[in-house]
Every structure is written in C-alpha cells, then in structure tokens.
Amino acid sequence: MPNVSMTVNGKAVSGTVEARTLLVEFLREQLRLTGTHVGCDTSQCGACVVHVNGDSVKSCTMLAVQAEGASVTTIEGLAKGDELHPMQAAFRENHGLQCGFCTPGMIMSAVDLAKKNPDPSETEIREWLEGNICRCTGYHNIVKSIRAGAEAMRG
Amino acid sequence: MTDQGIGARVLRKEDFRFVRGRGKYTDDIVLPNQTWAAIVRSPHAHATINGIDASAALAMPGVVRVLTAADFAAFGGLPCGWLVTGKNQTPMVEPKHPILAEGRVRHVGDPVAVVIAENRIAARDAAEAVEVDYSELPAVVDMRKATAAGSPTVHDEAAGNLCYDWELGDKAVVDAAFAGAAHVTTLELVNNRLVPNAMEPRAAIGDYDNSTGEHTLYTSSQNPHVIRLLMGAFVLQIPEHKLRVYAPDVGGGFGSKIYHYAEEAIVTVAAKLLERPVKWTSDRSEAFISDAHGRDHITRVELAMDANGKFLGLREFTLANMGAYLSTFAPSIPTYLHATLLAGQYTTPVIYSEVKAVFTNTVPVDAYRGAGRPEATYLLERVIDKAAKEMGMSPVDIRRKNFIQPDQFPYQTPVALVYDTGNYEATLSTALKAADWDGFEARRAAAAREGKLRGIGICCYIEACGIAPSNVAGALGARAGLYECATVRVNPTGSVQVMTGSHSHGQGHETTFAQVVAEKLGIDIGQVDIVHGDTNKIPFGMGTYGSRSLAVGGAALVNALDKVISKGRKIAAHLMEASADDVVFENGIFKVAGTDKEVPFGAVALTAYVPHNYPLEELEPGLEETAFYDPKNFTFPAGTYVCEVEIDPATGVTRIVSFHASDDFGNVINPMIVEGQVHGGLVQGIGQALLENASYSEDGQLLSGSYMDYCMPRADDVPSFTVDHQVTACTHNPLGVKGCGEAGAIGSPPAVINAIVDALKDYGISHIDMPATPAKIWHIINAGSVAQAAE
C-alpha cells in the first residue's frame, strides 16, 4: 500500500493508504480531523470542501495520493487559536448555520471565493455555491454571512 | 427584555463548535476495537429470497461476520407507533416489518444481510460479494394501480394493498351542503413524494459492556428516548436501565430521524454478538432507499360555495402512500395530522375527508417537515385559488370573506380542532403590503414587455403544532404520550444545567432554552448549559418534531424553573428571616417586598448545597427540579405567504422574483433563529414546488436516487426572503409560543404554484402538478405548437 505525505493545517503528516483511499477518508479516518464531512457520494454536496494548495477542493473527489506533497487546510486549521477566521465569525454573527453539517464545507468554499473575488455580489455568491448544498438555512443567511465575511477579510 | 432574555437576537452558543469543525456527529465517534457494518440491500422492488450465500464474503480479508434474518429470529419487528382505526371500526392492517427481510423483499433498499468487518472498506467490499438468490415478483408503485383489481399484493394480509380506509366528518351532511351550493369547484392534484435529505446521513454505533450488560446505541436521532422505548421494549427486549441511547450532534432531521430504523437494532444486536462496537454509516445513495420518504398523496378535492363565494362545505378523497411497511408514525400523517387541518383559516362549516392508505413496493413514507399539514394546506389553498378564478373573485377577497374573525376564538372547527387564538387579517394585510400586491399588475405588464410571464400567488396557511395533549393523541390511536420533560439542575456555585427531552438538530435549543433560563433566573446565558440527546442524563423525553420543542419542551422548562424559584424563595426567606410569602424574585435577586433585604440567586444556590444555615426540618437540601408538561391543546401558527414569479417562455424556467412570509408564531424567544427556521422551511417548500421529486419507475426502481437526479435546491435556485412576525400569543402554554419549524415548508408550495398558475393564466390551465419543472411549463406554453408539430 502506498505511503502518502502532506502538510495538513501546517503540520507534516504521513500515512499508509490504499491507492483508492479518498483524501476525505485520510483526513477523517487516519488523521481524525472530523470537521470535514461527507454528505453525498456524487461530488454534489460540498460538505467535504478543504483547501489544497490554497484552492477549494472537494476532498471526496480527490485521492489521498493525489495530495502527496500538498498543503491542505481543513476547517480545523482556519482559526488562529481562539480567534475565529473572519468567515467563521461572519457565519456565527449572521446565523449562517443551523445543524452545522454543511458548515465546514460552506466556510472553506466561501473563504476561497472571497480570496478570488473580494467583493462578491449576491448573484456571484449564489452561483459560487452551486457545489455546496445546505438543507437547513435556505441559503438566505449563508449569502449574508459570506458578504459580511468577505468584507471582513478585505479588512 | 434583557439582551440575553426572551425576545433577544442572541447569537448561538452552539456555533462556536460548529464553525470550527468541532461538532461531534455520530460518524465522528470512533470506539476502541470498533468494527464496521455494511448492509446488503435488495436491488429488486419485490422478490422472494431463495437463499443467501455468504461464503465468498466470509472469505474476504477483514470480514468478521455475516448476519441474515435467521440471526434476528428471536426479536420482534419494527413497531408502528400509531394505530389508525378506519371506517366501521376496522383497524389498520399492520404487517410485520422485520429487521432484515424474511424470505421476501418489498422495496429496493430492503435490508437483506449485514456484513461486519474490521473497517469500512472491507465491509463494503464484502457486502458486494454476498450472493442473494432472488426470484423477482411483479411490483406495484402506483397507488391507483395498487388499489385496482388484479394488482400485485405487497403483503398477503392486506387485500387490495389497503392499510386502512379512514374518514373524518359526516359524509351525508357534507353532501347535503354540496347539494345546496351555488357553485362547486373541483381539483385533482398530486402531492409529490419527497426525500427529506438531512445533510448528515444516518449513522448508528452499537456498543455492549459485557461486565454490566449495558448496551449503548449512538444514533442520529431526533428522539433518543423514543428509540430506547421502541427498540428496547418492542424489538430487542432490553430493559431501559440496560440501554443507553445517545444522539449527539445531529445534522438535520426534518422528520426523517424520528423513526426507529432497522440499522439501530442491527448494530445493537451485532455489538452483543461480537462483544465489539459495530458502526454503520449510510452513504447518500443508501439514504435515498432507506430513509423514510415524505408526502406522496393523490387527492380529489371539492369546495362548495354560495353565489357570493362563501364556503359551504369541503370534501376530499385522498390516496396516501405508506410504502412497503408502516414506518413509526406513518399512519397518523395523512389522517390526524392532515384531515384535521382542512378548515384552514376559514369558517367552512362542514368538511369530509376520506383517506385510503396504500401499500406499494416503495420506501416507507412518514412525516417530513410539516407532515400531513403541507398536504392539507396545498389542496385547500389550491382549490380556493381555482374557486376564486371560477367565481370571478380575487384570491385575496375570497380568502378574506371566509376568514375566522379574531372575536370568534376559541374557534371549534368541524374537523375536531379548537383554535385558541389568531388574527388572520393581520398576517394577510401585512403580507400584501410587504409584497406590494396592489402594484403587481404594473409589474406584470413591465415583465410582459420584456417577453416574460409574471404571476403572483398567495397562501394563507394554518398548522397544528406542539403535539400533543396525550389523552387526545391516545384517543386517536397514539401508542405513547406526547408530553415533555425538563430537569433544571442548579449547581452549588449557581451555574445551571438543563436536561431537556427535546432534541436540537439545527434548531438552536442550546441558545433559546438558555435564553428562557436567563430570563427567568436572571443569570448570564454563559452560566447555562442545555443537555439533550442522552437517555442516561435526561429523565425522559419525547423528542423534537412537529414544531413542539418550545411549546412543549420549553413549557416543561418553565415549570421546572418555577419550581426552582419557589424553593429558592423558601431558602431566601430563611436567610432573610422573613416569610416566603413576602419574598419576591426579580432579576436574579430574592427580596423581601417593601424592605431593602435581599439575597442573590447564587447565595441561595450555595446555601442549598452547603446547608449550614438552612431550614432542614422543612426543606431538603439541593436545588434541582424536574417537570413534565403535557400540553392542553395544540398550538396554531398561521400566516400569509406571497410569492411572485417570472417565467421565461422560451425555456419554461421559473424564477422567484420575491417572496414574503408573514407569520404568527405567538411569542418569539429569538427572532434571529425564528427567521432562520422560516427561511429553511421556505426553501424546502420551494424545492417541492419547483425541483424535487422522488420518481419511481413502474418496476419500482428509484430513478431520482442521488443528487445527480434528485434536484436539491441550490443557492442560485432561490431568492432572499422578507419575513415578519405578527403576534397573537398562544393562550395555553406558559411561554405563549406556537412553534415555527415547519411553517415555511407548509405555506410555500401553494404560494409558488398559485403564482405559476397565475403567470400561465393565458394558456388555458387551472393547475400544474409539483414539481413545476421547466419541461412541464414549456410544454404548457408550447402546447399549440407541439400539437401542430406532431401533425
């Protein structure tokens, strides 16, 4: 079985995986980083979004071995100690989550959007979220959260 | 109102863990020495099982055990929690729902065998290698075919696939009202089958302690005590004190996680057999064919009116799909949670409902957000719109003309319920104003100039929440009480733990319940923890569904807090050498009225646990109180929704231009959370109206069995919303609250469809079934040209 090494949330990690092991399985089951969730099996729901070398990626759609040598950030790596990332804070302040299951993927996806488009319109946010499904919020407050989070990230 | 008490927009306490990925859902839990279960499910809708050969699977690496129905022979089937009695006192047909299929499978996804292995992948690989020899049988999925002569039969004991034939109301009286009517409007409609699709797939872990004989079941459930009761008492015969059921963070439910599912029993049994923990986690494809579905009615409704549009009577005839087995609460949904709502907000004097529940070779159907009430609201609000058109009245005027007036409460409907309070004109006029109803025709004309079809739709809904007075529910066939329980534990230094039988899976109880405590005890919400979901920590509970948490669980909490305050007054009276009758409690301080004597809550708590100066002859030490609250009536949230749509005739695509919701939920504890509940409900209802459909092929294959096929609402399918709250406080619970969880999903489908029918008014249609997909709409718009093209 292949070995895989990568940097996750700033820490060097390695493990032995089956070739077919998905990145999300490696994160959840071997590294026990359970903030990244699995909500579907067809790459639709986006609960598993993490950053790989700075870009948002559905970690259910990438093999662990494809992340060899990469720098991976998960929801657990976003806050600085007790200080929430501005996007995390914005989701809380705008009630952008209910059950919390889609939230890590939403936040990781939103951070990537705000990096690429620092002042996204409501339409741009809604289009960007095509790959993230939420069943609780009706998206209304997620859109609000992302606008506020992007503004906070602009500083 | 304080900045943390009742009515405040307090940010959620639970969010600190969720936004950091520190939520703990069942699949996040890994127990030492844990194994994994994978379930072998039927690929056929109906078949006999001739044999199961697990030898190849057992030979695969990591496989520990393969279980089949024989391993569960000592146990009961999955129980149904509600007995519906039909016409002529005929009880419903209640076929056995085995844990694993016994010789015959009845729907695609019916569990047949269980493979347990050292890890998830090994279990799944081996499940593929289990060879099941099936002989396919003819299947039936269409309810009209299922009830016709010569149909395949799902259960031998259910002739004609009929579970029950039930009625409410006096048919002769209603028929007489119709005979005297000036006009009768008739509508046939389908309430489409939906898949609840909570984002967290179901999961369960069984664990067994062979030293104490205690079982622990971790499960993604909305009501762990109910699961303990159903599984312990009726399925596996494990007494309550040897069975702990723990539902940790649960990623949404919407009804689908109320029920006792086979997988919970499977991991519990397997853990004892193997003396190792056994985990099962559904994947999404599996969820589509194993989570209970929702809705799925076929209805004919008729509305009788006088010449002025006053309602004289309503009658409806519904076929309700039960699927292949009776899920936990399935029989009650199309009956007591449906027909009892058919008065809506109106004074219709006589109503008759006939509901035939039908078995088919499909996944069981049970409550899904709204549960029976969306189906009632949809048929009522659609037939009223059609009636308005036929009578030449505006959809607003016909509703207004028939409203129950504020001075008519309490109002006895002809369908058993007594509405305690409401003000339907208040939500109607607020919604019309917010949506600029009067300015709509100008917007329609402007859209027409752009080549677009605009429509506007209204829905005035009512629902019955806060389920339920136990004696009423019992008389109607419920096999359990429907009260709620709360324990308030004041710790020696004044912090508070609340053990509640309600369960939060997105609703924010950890915050709203803490706000109630903060308001009553005058302490900071940071000093309050809400504990839920664990049968070993909480005395009892009936769980969260039917928008009941605050109306029932919150009421229990208030009563327990009142007991704490009452005891606190006695302790404070002792400390202040006063009579308890003279002690008042305000803003966290006990005071002797009319004096400057006072003692803070914290000091009373400490005294209760360090009773050196304490009336020990009269009072026990400690400060912990429990209350059970059984509701006196249902609560009746109501409101008006207005939806405006624009259809592109070139593509048939509907865009929701604006949507306003005006709701009366009674008193509101946290407006931010209530608005969020409305938003979420609206999108589930809009999803039903425009996008979602659990579609079966004739031979029983679920065609929309993944997110590639089942169209979940995405962010760019829906607009932002405007919402407001009008308040008539509930008259019979201590918080005056009515519940807000389901309203959005109940009121929005008719508003959307009414708007679409309005937009298409020039195309000669009076109805379109949900989901109103672009293809359906395009065909309506192009019916003439398509017909020509076919010639």
pLDDT single digits (tens) B267-284: 999 999 999 999 999 999
**Residue numbers in B near A107 (CB within 8 A):** 19
Query: How much is the mean pLDDT over chain B?
Result: 96
Q: What local confidence, expressed as pLDDT, does residue B791 receive?
A: 41
Which chain A residues contact residue B197 at CB under 8 A? Answer: 135
How far is the C-alpha of B700 from the C-alpha of B606, rounded, in Å? 64
Rg (CA), chain B: 28
Residue B501 CA neighbour count, 13 Å, CB half = 29
pLDDT at B521: 97
pLDDT higher than 50, residue B589: yes
A&B contacts, CB < 8 Å: 180
Peptide bond into B468 cis (omega under 30): yes
Residues of chain A under the 70 pLDDT cut: none
As a whole number of angstroms, the distance between CA B750 and CA B746 comes to 8
Residue B173 clears pLDDT 50, i.e. is over it: yes
- Please tell me the predicted confidence (pLDDT) of residue B783: 86
Among the partner residues B15, B30, B285, nearest to A92 by beta-carbon distance? B15
What is the pLDDT, as a whole number, of residue B790?
43
The 10 Å CB-count burial string (b at 16+, else e) for B687-710 is bbbbbbbbbbeeebbbebbbbeeb
Nearest CA in chain B to A36: B21
- Per residue in B683-713, pLDDT (tens digit) is 999 999 999 999 999 999 999 999 999 999 9
pLDDT at residue B787 tops 50: no
Do strands B278-281 and B35-41 pair parallel, antiparallel, or not at all (unpaired)? parallel
What's the rounded Cα separation, in Å, for the pair B210 and B220?
24
B18: nearest CA in chain A?
A100
Can you tell me the mean pLDDT for B307-315?
98
* pLDDT over 50 at B412, yes or no: yes
Give which of B46, B341, B280, B314 is closest to B184, Cα–Cα.
B314
* Residue B550, pLDDT score: 95
Q: Answer with the residue of higher pLDDT: B765 or B791.
A: B765
Q: What is the DSSP string of B91-127?
A: BPP-----SS--SEE-STT-EEEEEEESSHHHHHHHH
Q: What mean pLDDT comes out for the span B42-67?
A: 98
Q: Give percent above pLDDT 70 in chain B.
A: 99
User: Shortest CA distance to B161 belongs to which of B366, B376, B367, B362?
Assistant: B362
Helix axes B555-575, B509-521, angle to 10 degrees: 30
pLDDT score recorded for residue B289: 98
The model's confidence at residue B431, banded by pLDDT at 50, 70 and 90, is very high
- pLDDT reported for residue B789: 43
**Which residues, at least 6 apart from B119, have a Cβ–Cβ distance to it below 8 Å?**
B36, B62
Per-residue model confidence (pLDDT) at position B784: 61
Please give the Cα distance from B537 to B529 (Å, whole number).
Answer: 13
Put simply, whether the predicted model's pTM sits higher than 0.95 gets the answer yes
Measure the N-to-C terminal CA separation of chain A; round to a whole number of Å: 46
* Residue of B18, B714, B716 with shortest CB distance to A97: B18
pLDDT on residue B75: 97
User: What is the C-alpha separation between B202 and B507, in angstroms, rounded?
Assistant: 18
For B162, phi and psi rounded to 5 degrees?
A: -90, 125
> For residues B569, B575, B576 and B580, what is the CA-based torsion angle, rounded to 10 degrees?
30
Interface test with A, best of B19, B368, B669 (most A CBs within 10 A): B19
What does the radius of gyration of chain A's CA atoms come to, in whole angstroms?
Answer: 15
pLDDT given at position B270: 98
Minimum mean pLDDT range among B209-223, B424-438, B466-480, B642-656: B466-480
With a CB cutoff of 8 Å and minimum separation 6, the contacts of B784 are none
Query: With an 8 Å Cβ cutoff, are B11 and A99 in contact?
Result: no
**Which residues in chain B have their CB less than 8 angstroms from residue A136's CB?**
199, 252, 506, 676, 680
B407-423 in b/e form (b: 16+ CB < 10 A) is eebebebbbbbebbbbb
pLDDT score of B788: 45
Residues 6+ apart with CB under 8 A from A135: A99, A102, B197, B198, B199, B252, B254, B680, B684, B712
Cα distances (angstroms) measured from residue B319 to each of B95, B178, B294, B749 = 19, 22, 14, 19
Q: Do B249 and A100 touch (CB under 8 A)?
A: yes
Q: Encoding tokens for residue B640?
A: 């008006």
- Tokens matching residue B70: 């024989």
HEC per residue, B38-78:
EEEECCCCCEEEEEEECHHHHCCCCEEEEEEHHHHCCCCCC
Buried b (16+ CB within 10 A) or exposed e, B141-159: bbbeebbeeebbbbbeebe
What is the pLDDT, as a whole number, of residue B785? 56
